[in-house]
Amino acid sequence: MSTPRSASFTAGPDASTPEFVAALQYYLTLRPRQLPSRYLYDDLGSALFEAICRLPWYGITRAESRLLDAHADDIFARLGLVSRIAELGSGSGDKLRRLLAAHDRRSSIEVHLIDISASALETSTAALASLDDVAVVAHRARYETGLAEALEERSRKGRTLVLFLGSNIGNYDPPGASALLRGIRSTLDAGDALLLGADLIKPERDLLLAYDDPLGVTAAFNRNLLVRTNRELDATFDLGAFAHRAVWNAAASRIEMHLVARSAQRVSVPRAGLEFTIAAGESIWTESSYKYTPDRLTAIISAAGFRVDQQWIDEGDQFALTLAAAA
């Protein structure tokens, strides 16, 4: 059966400036000061993240690609007829393309890409739109909103599969991760499925190299948050005055990224009405990347109302792909 190829964009917020302003007003005045990691992904930040994924020290993307290539057939065999896939944080679209290579297309499939980055959506839509019998719909939205839009039409033949890959779950704190999984479950019907990719705890040395790479790409990715703030909100962050730092917090099972002030400095963010002094050595905490054990993943997925069907582990890079059905 053949359906026309299609690629369409649903309307999403164009400039997120009021939200960005509100976030800065809140997070930059906390102690320790923070900037939420979702703002790392403007156009340049998204491109830098794509570069990170190719670094020899950052194994997440390669490990997940290996697992998808090796087990995509098995994933579809376990699920039966899948008529809709929704990917949260679709990035370049490469992972979905790998998965779709194993879809038999005896029936057409609708693919929903959900991302806050316009450039990531353009890239992923272009990567998938040329596939036969795949209808692509892009949603420029936060995950919850985009998923609700994607799954609006409920009565359909075949299952819905939600993809949450790339260890994006790691950027949520544990209560946030559990709430997000419960939220995903609440949008699904029994028998629909979730495929979750998550990075596992590994030796500290490997984690630090992955988040503080010798080429300085991750440092640029982190500092770009200040570049973006200077550009969009006329802020006065002195880029050279901030050092990138990655720390493994073993007690919390997370890598933290910080921007540490090399010297005391006055910063103003006029469009957010902020003016403050950062002390020498003070840091702005920009990201947490939680790492899991396979058992912990099974526990949080199950607690959200799924039944874990299979878990595949990449032993080389210590990464897990977990397939679970909405119970």
Interacting residues toward ligand AVI by CB under 6 A? 52, 60, 166-168, 170-171, 211, 218, 287, 289
What six digits make up the tokens of 327?
């119970």
Instruction: Tell me which residue of 222, 115, 127 sits closest to 165, measured CA to CA.
Output: 115
Rounded Cα distance between 133 and 322, Å, is 27
In the complex, residue closest to ligand AVI by CB: 289
- CA–CA distances in Å: residue 296 to residues 206, 208, 302: 21, 22, 10
Q: Describe the crossing of helices 43-53 and 217-233 by its angle, rounded to 10 degrees.
A: 170
Measured from the CB of residue 102, what is the shortest distance to ligand AVI in angstroms?
24
Measured from the CB of residue 290, what is the shortest distance to ligand AVI in angstroms?
8
Q: Rounded to 5 degrees, what are φ and ψ at 275?
A: -150, 125
Measured from the CB of residue 69, what is the shortest distance to ligand AVI in angstroms?
20
Q: Cβ closer to ligand AVI: 50 or 309?
A: 50
Q: Cβ closer to ligand AVI: 52 or 326?
A: 52
Measured from the CB of residue 267, what is the shortest distance to ligand AVI in angstroms?
23
In the sheet where 6-10 sits, what is the strand order? Answer: 6-10, 134-140, 109-115, 82-88, 159-164, 193-199, 319-326, 306-314
Q: Describe the crossing of helices 174-187 and 143-150 by its angle, rounded to 10 degrees.
A: 10
Q: Cβ closer to ligand AVI: 188 or 225?
A: 225
Q: Cβ closer to ligand AVI: 55 or 274?
A: 55
Measured from the CB of residue 214, what is the shortest distance to ligand AVI in angstroms?
14
Q: Cβ closer to ligand AVI: 71 or 254?
A: 254
